[in-house]
Chains A and B, each alone.
Chain A
């Protein structure tokens, strides 16, 4: 492989290869990001509840 453009072209299969990698990346990222956000949100709500109870 000589150039970056050639690398991206993947011998004419660029669309299929990069769609596969792209979709996989998005799905795998969401799987980690969503629980981290959920955890933050939940702890914030729980802290509020505790403050109110006091």
Chain B
């Protein structure tokens, strides 16, 4: 059986930023300090009117392809919930735009904040089964197109971004095991109701779900790998909000020096949040051979976690 590793990560953030001052200007009644205290988010990135999810995905892929030959890419998995096309699959459009090989496996995964973990599982399965040697996971979303400026639940949190992760074959396996889960009874905790153009979130439902499920999910993974919090070097969780991260860390008794947060400057970037956090953390906090647990959770409700043995990335 072939192993796999994360060999590179690149991300793209739209040029336009929206900070909390601007948020307050648009919504004078909002208590911005209190919102910041809970979300931990000051900046969000907003895609321009003409900039689609496919556009930002393309930009992040191009950054990565400067470091790796496109002819060697065997698969492209696009994780998105905001494709400008219901038909066809947006990954096919990216194959054409980037002139990627025609024998490539290309498809979309419709998942939100857990999407990177699920795509990572699929990618490693392709490599394990010798279906592929190298591939890209592209996490891209433009949620802000579906969130009006006065949507108090969503506007202070969500941010547009695209992140491309290169997964390659490795002599020693560096990714896994995984622990994945779903609870569709919470489908309406975060949804774009049929026929509507505005994302609706039940904040309490999402928060309590994350506080309950994530610690449990990570505990099961730790048990699976016969390890404990003190044996793991770093925990990188989906950057949902400061309140959620603080509560997950509290419940799992994770010391502050083993956690990473970048949500203040980038916001909650849905499925791109874990690869963006990994890339940012790799500059200072994650060292070679670190054991890192990553966990994603959100819309669906859907969740997953995985162990990564970190190797320096491109």
Pair from one complex: no
Residues of B within 8 A of A (CB): none
Residues of A within 8 A of B (CB): none
